Amino acid sequence: MQEEDTTRVEAFSDGVFGIAMTLLILEIKVPHLPHEAPADKWWLFGALLSLWPSFIAFVLSFGTVLIMWVNHHGLFKHAHRTDNRLLFANGLLLLLVTFVPFPTAVLAEHLNKPSANAAATFYCATYVVIALCHNLLLSAVLANRAPGAVGSSAHEAAASRIRRAYGAGIAVYLAATIAAIFSPLGGLAICFSLWGLWVLLNYSAHERAS
């Protein structure tokens, strides 16, 4: 029954991650033909290219939420059962994941406008809050480990590795937020660079766990 509990929470979380990722596409707005038809038959390609802020925002948010999902997957492997603390830490994370399409749409709308610094700062700051929430979830998962796992050196090593990585996540997103105040694209570049870190982390954690 405990096993089934974890399964249902994971399946529900997967659903929310998947829907949040898919809704991101709704923020890319179709360019409309202007009233006076442009002379150039291929005008549409220029209009599509000018949507680059939307494409950057879409790809960055999609990839980041996808990596969150992969990590969520890895994290719940350590959870042996669910209690209310785990359910609500997970719920808070899902609230924030569901929120991601909003800062993404704000970024897409403002990245090529004078308000770009404010939009990128808001966008990066959202991920700081999400990183903090991941740490809450980590504590809740560790408090729900299998009795045999607590104190086992292999599990403690895995736990401290994840803990260090999550701490690094907060630090890097904080740096991205501060960078975005001065340079929107600089802040976003730091967010993108985290993809590499997470892939590495997940890869090594996965290798050692299996």
CB of 2 to its own copies, least distance (A): 8
| Binder of its own copies out of 143, 146, 154, 199 (CB under 8 A) | 199
In angstroms, rounded to a whole number, what is the distance separating the alpha carbons of residues 41 and 47? 12
In angstroms, rounded to a whole number, what is the distance separating the alpha carbons of residues 18 and 24? 10
In angstroms, rounded to a whole number, what is the distance separating the alpha carbons of residues 203 and 209? 10
Q: Does 14 bind its own copies (CB under 8 A)?
A: yes
Q: Does 26 bind its own copies (CB under 8 A)?
A: yes
In angstroms, rounded to a whole number, what is the distance separating the alpha carbons of residues 7 and 127? 26
For its own copies, the closer CB: 147 or 171: 147
Q: Does 173 bind its own copies (CB under 8 A)?
A: no
| Binder of its own copies out of 68, 89, 110, 142 (CB under 8 A) | 110
Closest alpha carbon to 122 in 177, 189, 159: 177
| Binder of its own copies out of 68, 75, 95, 173 (CB under 8 A) | 95
* Size, binding site for its own copies by CB under 8 A: 66
Helix (H/G/I), strand (E/B), else coil: 38: coil
